[in-house]
Structure 1
Amino acid sequence: MIWLASHILVVLSIAMVGVAMLFVLQQRRTPQSAAAWVLFILLIPYLAIPLFLALGFRKQAGRFPPIRFSPATHPAANPQPIAKALQAFGIPAASEGNSLTLHFTPTQAQTALMATILQAQTRLDITFYLLDNDATGHAFVEALIARAKAGVAVHLILDRLGALHRPKAELARLLAAGAKLRYFSPFLHRPDNGHLNLRNHRKMVVADLNTVWAGGRNIGDAYLAEGHDWIDLSFTLQGPAVQSYIDVFAADWDVVGTPPGTLISHSPADGAVTAQLVPSGPDTPDDALHDALVYGIHRAERSVWITTPYFLPTEALQQALITASRRGVDVRVMLPQTSNQWITDLARGAYLRDLDAAGCTILRLRKGMLHAKAGMIDDMAWIGSANFDVRSMLLNFETALMLYDAATVIALQAWFTGLAPLCEPGVLIPSLPRRCAESIFRLGAPML
């Protein structure tokens, strides 16, 4: 009987390995990602298969249905090529008539955030990855409590992983005031859902279906209070592009709660900004943000400037940057000397050295944390929640606002240029032990 049990166990193990490999090969992945998972499953199946069930899934239409975008209003008369390319992926057309205010400092961002919340009269639709249990987090929830008590319909989504250190007492009071709170991607779920690895990294406040506060900032002292050596970007938006944020929030709420029904913005189209919201994640059938950036970088004629806290690009993005630099395009990548994620710091080393060897300019912020996620390609720019890494481009729920007007692009270029003196140019030459460690951690990146 022992031999029979052993035989059955071997057969089941082989079958599980075969099924897992079939799932890997059927999903849309880069060849590097598929090869890494297949090798992992073959070599250490008892560890690889459980990890794949928890972390290995990407697009799941049954669990995360595609965002239902409303028809674009006030479409741009002469859209830039990247805007037209995004439309081919089902992204609404770039719209004219938007008003945008950039927040370069924590004080500007917090003042605008509180104004957006406290001026709401009918509803607040909010998604954040992280809500800290600190003074800023408490003030944020207190503002929501005040609006809920005033009769405003408050809908708050927090990512379950990012909300680990949330202000629980204040959130309980928010619920008691009548607000609705939902957690995205809970830890306990059916194994076949596989969404433990799919985090909602979006950051946005939509007030009265009219005004949006969004960008790269979470809610916490590090992001919104002075004196924390964190550099970030956010903005306030009004105009036709607000509708896309409403549609994205509706899709998020559809996953965690009851469908919110049809929500239509009446935000005035009296601004001078041309904008186009590009979400990414399991609720977008294609990888529009990633593919549009690859396309835009290959089309670049003068400059590609990127700020990101974490730099783990896909092979396509990395090669696009290298090719652009070799074509004579001014390619600059700005990132922190030391980020708050040591694993990504180890994994990024070889990527940065390859860019440096190709003539790209690497700018390492000497002090503090650069958390801004933005970029400029010639005459367009983007700001949002997406880092320039595999996770943001191909896994997480993210948003990036594409901006096509000259004034906004010039303002972001001036901000980037102003930070350059605070940076150390070039890359560090690692020791042999660090180079070995970097290589090991880089091998894990495609498995995402």
Structure 2
Amino acid sequence: MDLSSYVVAIWPYLGTYLGFGLAFVLIARLMREKRRPSATVAWLLVIWFVPPLGVPLYLIFGGRKISRLTRNKSPLNIALPNETGTISSSAFGVISKGNLTEMQPTGVHAFKSLIREIRAAKESIEITTFILSHDTIGRNVVKELSRRARAGVEVRLLLDAVGSFGMKTLYMLELAKAGGRIERFMPVLPFLSLGRANLRNHRKLAIFDRKRVIIGGRNIGKEYMGPIHSPKRWRDLSLLIEGPAVMQLSAIFEADWAFACRKKGEVQRPIKSVPEFQGSEPSTVEIMVSGPDTRGDPLYEKILSIIQEAEKSVTIVTPYFIPDEVLQRSLMVKARSGKSVRLLIPRRSNHPITDLARNDFLRELSEAGVEVLLFNDGMMHGKVVLVDEDIAMTGSANIDLRSLFVNYELAAFFYSQKEIGEITSWVDELCQSTEPFTDTDENEQPLLKSIAEDLSRLIAPLL
């Protein structure tokens, strides 16, 4: 038997042995990583029992905390010094006093505020977004950025490579020709992004002259904002901040930008001091980030901490709800101990698999006494946590496994009654278009739906 015939004869067996060998190596690596037990078990099952599917999926999407990313990327959870001493570190993030805020409760508010700030910028504009849609809103925003770039304003636009995939269009080239800079965060390239394709930059912020910044849950597209009211527009929340908190948000952008441009030799720029707001009702803001470039899971730990310390009430608003075991149990314990616990989610989101996966969690919460409310007036994309009328959180992070443990995220916690009251009013308005979740006995459901829910919950740790 010649060599070629021998290789052909043993190839089926060799491929099997190599597949299981690689699976064994990946399982050993998986066991060393700090993951939630449910996620570890889910990956173990997929890799071991279906190696041809599990091995490539893990190589592409399995990354969560990559030490090399942490080493190459500047630390984000830092307190930058300023003259007034209004900035300090907390156990989870960075707290600053003396800020001015302006809530953007509707897409019209958000669009007009964004365009106003772009046109008013005199020195610089920095924008990070997960999605920049190729629609009338996206094109209008890019045209406004191009005008400011031609006027001599430095414009930098950082897009997530997956969320804004395929954005090399003519109007984007117009921005580049005008002098604006466009970078993509962590492109998904064959063999160069193994283990990283799962790690997406979900942060949203727009900084103007390094003095004012817009943050929240809105991407740039007609689903999120526009010049006139649209009944099809998603409900969301964003806000403008002016004051010392802008320093932390600028540091976040600079670290992300320097990381995206690291192969071009660009380094992180120094952060300019921002004075304290001197008007009435100054706000206290805690800026927090989470993601593969942070140690631990500070955003998750902060949310869990304030929920467990709640004395009267907890309200959560999120478009997608896939909690881990500890967060789910914490909400159930609070409800059973007599505290008011509300969860507001859309009746149907834009991710059907996530909707199926959440149903068992909703049943458990409802049985424990949690008031589960379904928003039935379209899509609701806002992210809010309210505790005891003393703390309010909003930002880019959903209450799901991806936002809490995988994505690059950004959130702001407010401790002043002005912001807490405004966010509470926004939530109360949403509640007027909700109806209670009704628990359907699993035995009364169609068999196929029950199977789909069971499978969806099984893969929930991988979503």
TM-score bin (small chain) = over 0.9
Q: 1:388 aligns with which of 394, 399, 413?
A: 399
CA–CA distance in structure 1, aligned partners of residues 321 and 238 of structure 2: 20
**What residue in structure 2 maps to residue 151 of structure 1?**
152
TM alignment of 1:30-429, pairs within 5 A: 30-64=36-70, 65-68=73-76, 69-71=78-80, 73=82, 87-89=90-92, 91-92=93-94, 94-164=95-165, 166=167, 168-190=169-191, 193-225=194-226, 226-227=229-230, 228-257=232-261, 258-270=266-278, 272-378=282-388, 379-429=390-440
CA distance in 2, matches of 1:167, 1:256: 17
Letter in 1 for 2:362: L
- Contact 1:238/1:267 (8 A) holds in 2: no
Question: Residues 296-336 of structure 1: CA distance to partner in whole angstroms, max 9, x if unpaired?
Answer: 11110111111111111111211111111112111101111
Q: Is the 8 A contact 1:72 1:95 kept in 2?
A: no
- Alpha-carbon deviations, 1:181-231, whole Å to 9, x = none? 011121215356421111111111011111001111111111112212421
Q: 1:359 offset after TM fit, Å?
A: 0.3
Separation in structure 2 between the aligned mates of residue 161 and residue 260 of structure 1, nearest angstrom: 24
Amino acid at match of 1:404: Y
2:421 is matched by which residue type in structure 1? I
Give the structure with higher Rg (CA).
2
Deviation of 1:71 (Å):
2.4
Residues 145-197 of structure 1: per-residue CA shift (max 9 Å, x gap)? 01101111111011122213647111100000111101112121535642111
Structure 1 unmatched ranges of 5 or more: none
Q: Report the more deviating stretch, 5-14 or 129-138.
A: 5-14
Aligned partner of 1:443 in structure 2 is: 458
- Counterpart Cα distance in 2 of 1:194 and 1:336: 31
Unaligned ranges ≥5, structure 2: 1-5
Shift of 1:368: 0.7
Give the Å deviation of 1:47.
Answer: 0.9
- Cα drift, residue 428 of structure 1: 4.7
RMSD: 2.0
Q: Secondary structure at the match of 1:195?
A: coil
How many percent identity over aligned positions? 34
User: 2: distance between equivalents of 1:276 and 1:421?
Assistant: 30
Q: Give per-residue Cα distances to partners, 1:388-436, cap 9 Å, x unaligned.
A: 1000111111101111111211221122122212101123526233222
Quote how far apart the aligned CAs of 1:76 are: 6.7
Q: Which residue of 2 aligns with 1:24?
A: 30
Cα deviation 1:68-95 (Å, max 9, x = unaligned): 4342556679x9xxxx8xx234x22x11
Structure 2 CA distance for partners of 1:192 and 1:169, relative to 1, 3 Å: closer
| Matched position secondary structure for 1:58 | coil
CA distance in 1, matches of 2:11, 2:453: 43
SS in 2 for 1:305: strand
* Contact 1:116 1:213 survives alignment (8 Å): no
- Say if 1:312 and 1:445, in contact at 8 Å, map to a contact too: yes
Aligned partners of 1:265 and 1:142: how far apart in 2?
A: 30
